[in-house]
Amino acid sequence: MKKRLPSLMLALAMTFTLVACASSTPNQPNGDQSGGGSVSPSIPSQEQAAFPVTLTDAAGRTVTIQAKPERLISGYYITTSMLIALGQQDKLVGIEAKADTRPIYSLAAAGLLELPNVGTAKAFDLEGCAALQPDLIILPLKLKDNVPALEELGLTVLLVNPESLEQLNSTISLLGNVTDAKERAQALLDYNQKTLDFLTKTLNGVQYPTVYLAGNSSYLSTAGAKMYQNTLLELGGGQNVASGLEDTYWADISYEQLLSWNPEVIIIASGASYTKDEILQDPQLSQLAAVQNGQVYAMPSELESWDSPVPSALVGSRWIAAVLHEDLYRFETFQADAEQFYRDFYQVNVSTELLSK
């Protein structure tokens, strides 16, 4: 039985097109405004980009940026990576904790590793953040409870929620406008649209193998339909065996559940604490089709976590497509495409060894 291109891909294609056109459509909201208690930010048009700029952030707050910000704080690795791709890394004066765990920082913007950190979502350093005297603080929606205290200090805060491809695109447009990096933002949006068009055309009508995505902390944890990782698999031409799970975070499963799913392919999430050999050599998994056929692959982790909605998210879906459908998209072609992406948006040359499977 052949699995046709899911409606998700067509819906995302429409979303990408709408966001890409937002720069010429005044006050046009973008993306999904109903998920997770968040709204997609409103994007000012190019004609509106002269400061001050007023917009709506992911929490539905009206935020006015009085002047082009020259001192930025990013409290979220996704927006930090995004600011690098937009060429704004030199304006960052503080970033999220654990920067040394993000390889792309050392490759593309090594100076970020020397910046003060403002903590994590669980332990945000409000005083340290304020002491850096930023013009603009960009925080994930989960840190919204810190906004009143920051605003009492006269600081401007923008909340973002790039937890899906739609919201990622909206955030790219948003940051491109508030940092006056509209051309680079549009180039990234164009890349996303081009990739989505390519995957849609290449995978149309092909048979999708069943895939199990093993979590990075344990290969007995996985992602259901409500997580971004499900989109990653579907865009790359895989059928997620765990799509019936309703969890909004990694779900723990049993050996029995995995055996009953019996996936044709196992893909290990980026930065896993175990190796694919551990899966292949686990006697309790010896009857899995993926194990018997040697179809176990580990996502690269030496650049970025492609299994999250970072700016290179669609590079991750290209990787999935090249692994699952190499007859249609040769892995060597994927590697060349990925190398070009990192040259264009991060100004770094990456070796093919970092783009393995």
Residue 38 scores a pLDDT above 70: no
pLDDT of residue 328: 97
Average pLDDT over residues 164-175: 93
- Please list the residues that pair with 92 across neighbouring strands: 72
Which pLDDT tens digit goes with each residue over 293-312? 999 999 998 899 999 999 99
List Cα–Cα distances, 86 to 89, 172, 176, 255, 327, in angstroms: 8, 9, 7, 44, 34
pLDDT of residue 356: 85
On average, the pLDDT of the chain sits at 88
pLDDT of residue 34: 34
What is the C-alpha separation between 101 and 269, in angstroms, rounded?
A: 15
Residue 19 scores a pLDDT above 60: no
> Strand 221-222 vs strand 251-252: parallel, antiparallel, or unpaired?
antiparallel
Average pLDDT over residues 167-180: 94
Two tokens at 15? 């979303």
In this structure, are residues 237 and 199 in contact, taking their beta carbons and an 8 Å threshold? yes
Two tokens at 193? 């649209």
pLDDT of residue 277: 96
Average pLDDT over residues 41-70: 79
Query: Which residues lie below 8 Å from residue 201, measured CB to CB, with a gap of 6+?
Result: none
In this structure, are residues 348 and 335 in contact, taking their beta carbons and an 8 Å threshold? no
List Cα–Cα distances, 218 to 113, 150, 179, 347, in angstroms: 28, 38, 39, 34
Which pLDDT tens digit goes with each residue over 308-321? 999 999 999 999 99
What is the C-alpha separation between 244 and 253, in angstroms, rounded?
A: 13
pLDDT band at 140 (very low <50, low <70, confident <90, very high): very high
pLDDT of residue 336: 95
Handedness of CA 173, 178, 179, 182 (dihedral sign): positive
Q: What predicted TM-score, i.e. pTM, was given to this entire model?
A: 0.85
pLDDT of residue 184: 96
Average pLDDT over residues 246-273: 95
pLDDT band at 39 (very low <50, low <70, confident <90, very high): low
List Cα–Cα distances, 76 to 122, 137, 193, in angstroms: 12, 10, 24
Which pLDDT tens digit goes with each residue over 200-230? 999 999 999 999 999 999 999 999 999 999 9
Long-range contacts of 27-33 (CB under 8 A, 24+ apart): 29/56, 30/166, 30/169, 30/170, 30/173, 31/164, 31/166, 31/167, 31/169, 31/170, 32/164, 32/166, 32/167
List Cα–Cα distances, 226 to 141, 230, 325, in angstroms: 18, 7, 24
Choose between 33 and 289: higher pLDDT: 289
> Strand 92-95 vs strand 72-74: parallel, antiparallel, or unpaired?
parallel
Choose between 202 and 11: higher pLDDT: 202
Choose between 134 and 43: higher pLDDT: 134
What is the C-alpha separation between 40 and 56, in angstroms, rounded?
A: 8
pLDDT of residue 41: 54
| Number of other residues whose CB lies within 10 A of the CB of residue 153 | 11
Residue 283 scores a pLDDT above 60: yes
pLDDT of residue 13: 55
Least confident of 2-11, 65-74, 89-98, 344-353: 2-11
- Please list the residues that pair with 159 across neighbouring strands: 139
Kindly state the percentage of the chain with pLDDT values over 90. 78
pLDDT of residue 47: 43
pLDDT band at 9 (very low <50, low <70, confident <90, very high): low
pLDDT band at 353 (very low <50, low <70, confident <90, very high): confident
- Please list the residues that pair with 43 across neighbouring strands: 28
Q: What is the largest CA-CA distance in the chain?
A: 63
List Cα–Cα distances, 174 to 24, 56, 161, 168, in angstroms: 14, 10, 11, 10
